[in-house]
Chains A and B, each alone.
Chain A
Amino acid sequence: MPDVKKVTTPLTEDVINTLRIGDKLLITGVIYTGRDAAHKRLTDLVEKGETLPFDVQGQIIYYVGPTPAKPGKPIGSAGPTTSYRMDAYAPTLIALGLKGMIGKGMRSKEVKDAMVAHKAVYLGATGGAGALISKSVKKSDIIAYEDLGPEAIRRLEVEDFPVVVINDAHGGDLYEEGTARFRRS
């Protein structure tokens, strides 16, 4: 695995252009959470021409629905959810300037094409490592859709949040290349 790169949010196009599949990144700064129900609401707003609860320009959305935080902790267990369920909504947000998505699992051709066209990246957090990942989250505030419970949109302050680049802005796909390297049948 290549050296670990440290990146801060918001992501600039210059930084995105340097990223390649398999790169291990440690993210510091602000990221936003959102999964199925929140994505539907966000894209409904876009369709109606209304303002989103946060400006997605240059930002990263983390597909996560954490467990409730224990007293004194910023967040509970907080690993990624499977990303393909957000595929229907992601191209709309990427076109608006969203630069990164954190999740796990394969993306559709439409999402991959949008990442290449608008310079964005798809990053993998380790699925099922929710307790470990929670250590990188320093602060968590619900900023929209509190009624959705675990699916509410949160603003997270993260420090050295570990991810791997799965799809870069040059059309690379770690899942395809990694599997091809180790396939025997």
Chain B
Amino acid sequence: MREVSAVEITRVVRDLFMDANINLGEDVLAAFRQALETEESPTGREILNELIENARIAREEQIAICQDTGLAVIFVELGQDVHVVDGDLNKALNEGVRQGYKEGYLRKSACHCFTRKNTGDNTPAIIHAEIVPGERIKVTAAPKGGGSENMSQVMMLTPAVGIEGVKEYVVRRVRESGANPCPPVVVGVGIGGTFEQAALIAKKALLRPLGVRNEDPEVAALEADLLARINDLGIGPQGYGGRTTALAVHVNMMPCHIASLPVAVNIPCHAHRHKEAVI
């Protein structure tokens, strides 16, 4: 049994949230540069250049890429041979969020559903933990902005609609979202499982480096087709019209109930933020 201190977990979570919110990933920057080559709209190209410049300023001045530094979503893969000491795991994760959002000058966006009173420290974190083999802990910080999350949806389709019905639904969801989620977006799609599992695998699909296709060739082909159809919508950067509506489409699929065809669409904006560490 390997012992890991809760204090160490807090420190890692703190650093990951600051890093994710301030330093845009190289995969996203590469996607911007690639989009610059294919974008036909001059306004669209101007927006893409602004986003590259924005990432540079954020990195140099160590301020948040976007003012919406999100709710603090954390994925934890906890090795079954790890024993957490000096405190409990959930408290350690939340304490890391508290410290990271304070020390990183990040916005606290968590509030009561009805009174809208801010909790003041961006907790509680949204924690997805699973037990895995081994004696390591993998922590992924994935801050999620509200504007794009609001455009996300789970739909329980009828099995009869098949793959074409799934494609139509996903493309329609992106079209109806229009300019709201700050295009160019990334589209996470979860197909199968149950109501909640579809949403979770859609979100997990977003943790893949941008543009890395699903290992299953059938799903990879679906991703490519969805991306082409979404970029034919013409929404473009910021919705001002153009070729680049999505930078990537990531799909995860798993078996579902014989009566069901759940599909979840999770949309993050171009400030596509996630950083991970292994303890």
Residue from the list B51, B62, B146, B242 in contact with A129, Cβ < 8 A: B51
B residues 128-169 in Cβ contact with A at 8 Å: 146-147, 150
**Taking the complex as formed, is B29 at the interface, i.e. its CB lies under 8 A from any CB of chain A?**
no
Grouping DSSP codes into helix (H, G, I), strand (E, B) and loop, the B interface class, with mixed when no group exceeds half, is loop
**Taking the complex as formed, is B88 at the interface, i.e. its CB lies under 8 A from any CB of chain A?**
no
| Count class of interface residues, chain A | 35 or more
* B67 CB contacts on chain A under 8 angstroms: 64-67, 76-79, 81, 130, 150
Cβ contact within 8 Å between B50 and A106: no
Alpha-carbon distance between A160 and B264 when the two chains are bound, in angstroms: 41
Cβ contact within 8 Å between B239 and A179: yes
B residues 228-264 in Cβ contact with A at 8 Å: 229, 232-236, 238-243
Alpha-carbon distance between A67 and B22 when the two chains are bound, in angstroms: 12
* A37 CB contacts on chain B under 8 angstroms: 116
Residue from the list B66, B106, B232, B241 in contact with A128, Cβ < 8 A: B66
Against A, the Cβ 8 Å flags (1 = close, 0 = not) of B100-123 are 000001111100000010101000
A-B contact count (CB 8 A): 173
Cβ contact within 8 Å between A81 and B241: no
The stretch of A45-53, A109-117, A131-139 in contact with B is A131-139
| Count class of interface residues, chain B | 35 or more
**Taking the complex as formed, is A123 at the interface, i.e. its CB lies under 8 A from any CB of chain B?**
no
Alpha-carbon distance between A65 and B118 when the two chains are bound, in angstroms: 13
* A104 CB contacts on chain B under 8 angstroms: 147, 179-180, 182, 238-239
* A150 CB contacts on chain B under 8 angstroms: 67, 107-109, 118
Known: A65-B107, A79-B67. A105 touches B54 (CB 8 A): no
**Taking the complex as formed, is A175 at the interface, i.e. its CB lies under 8 A from any CB of chain B?**
yes
**Taking the complex as formed, is A15 at the interface, i.e. its CB lies under 8 A from any CB of chain B?**
no
Cβ contact within 8 Å between A77 and B178: no
* A171 CB contacts on chain B under 8 angstroms: none
**Taking the complex as formed, is B206 at the interface, i.e. its CB lies under 8 A from any CB of chain A?**
no
**Taking the complex as formed, is B94 at the interface, i.e. its CB lies under 8 A from any CB of chain A?**
no
* A183 CB contacts on chain B under 8 angstroms: 232-234
Known contacts A77-B58, A126-B50, A127-B269; 16 additional CB pairs below 8 A are A1-B43, A65-B109, A66-B107, A70-B61, A76-B63, A81-B147, A82-B180, A129-B53, A129-B54, A129-B66, A130-B68, A150-B118, A175-B239, A180-B241, A181-B234, A184-B234
Of the A-B pairs whose beta carbons lie under 8 Å apart in the complex, a sample of 13, sorted by A's number, is A67-B67, A67-B69, A68-B106, A79-B67, A82-B181, A104-B239, A105-B239, A106-B180, A128-B66, A131-B61, A150-B118, A182-B242, A183-B233
